[in-house]
Amino acid sequence: MKQLFALLFSLALVACGGGSGSAGSGGTASGPSGTAITPPVASAVASNTMPVTVEQGPGNNVNIPYVSVKVCVPGTTTCKTIDKILVDTGSTGLRLLASAVTGFSLPPQTTQTSPIVLECAQFLHFVTWGPVKLADVVLGAKRAAAVPVQVVADPGYSIIPTSCGRAASAATEPSDLGANGILGVGLFVNDGQIYYNCAPSSRFTNCRVTLTPSQQVQNPVALFGSDNNGVVLQLPALTRQGAERVEGSLIFGIDTRDNNRLGAAKVIQTDSTGFFTTTYQGEALRQSFFDSGSNGLYFPDADLPTCVSAHPGFFCPPVSRSLSASISLINQGSDTVQFEIGNAATLLDSPAWAFDNLGGPMAGASFDWGLPFFFGRSVFTVIEGRTTSAGPGPLFAYTN
Q: Are residues 196 and 264 in the same domain?
A: no
Residue 268 within any structural domain of the chain: yes
Could you tell me if 265 and 392 lie in one domain? yes
DSSP for 347-368? HHTSS-SB-SS-EEE--SS--E
Residue 5 lies in a domain: no
Rounded Cα distance, 229 and 236, in Å: 23
Residue 148 lies in a domain: yes
C-alpha closest to that of 358 among 87, 11, 7, 38: 7
Assigned domain for 96 exists:
yes
Residues 185 and 123 in one domain: yes
Tell whether 212 and 352 lie within a shared domain: no
The verdict on 287 and 200 lying in the same domain is no
Domain boundary among 223, 244, 273: 223
C-alpha R_g of the chain = 20
CATH number for the domain harbouring residue 343: 2.40.70
Q: Summarize pLDDT for 266-322 with one digit per residue, the tens.
A: 999 999 999 999 999 999 999 999 999 999 999 999 999 999 877 778 999 999 999
In a domain, 372, yes or no: yes
Instruction: Phi first, then psi: give them for residue 46, nearest 5 degrees.
Output: -65, 150
265 and 365 both lie in a single domain: yes
Query: Model pTM?
Result: 0.91
Interval 158-200: pLDDT, tens:
888 888 877 778 999 999 999 999 999 999 999 999 999 886 6
Based on the fold, state whether residues 36 and 151 are members of the same structural domain. Answer: yes
pLDDT value for 34: 46
Total domains in the chain come to 2
Question: Structural domain of residue 343, as residue ranges?
Answer: 256-398
The answer to whether position 143 is within a domain reads yes
Within a 10 A sphere around the Cβ of 273, how many other Cβ atoms?
16
Same-domain check for residues 260 and 219: no
pLDDT band at 89 (very low <50, low <70, confident <90, very high): very high
Nearest to 314, CA basis, from 61, 17, 40, 28: 61
Are 140 and 181 found together in one domain?
yes
Query: Would you mind telling me the total number of residues written for the chain in this entry?
Result: 400
pLDDT tens digit sequence for 223-279: 999 999 999 999 999 998 999 999 999 999 999 999 999 999 999 999 999 999 999
* 3 occurs within a structural domain: no
Whether residue 340 lies inside any domain: the answer is yes
pLDDT (tens digit per residue) in 116-164 = 899 999 998 899 999 999 999 999 999 999 999 999 999 998 888 888 8
Nearest to 157, CA basis, from 196, 212, 211: 196
Higher pLDDT, 158 or 27: 158
Q: Are residues 173 and 281 in the same domain?
A: no
Question: For residue range 330-367, what is the model confidence (pLDDT) as tens digits?
Answer: 988 999 999 999 999 999 889 999 999 999 999 999 99
Residues 270 and 217 reside in one and the same domain: no
394 shares a domain with 271: yes
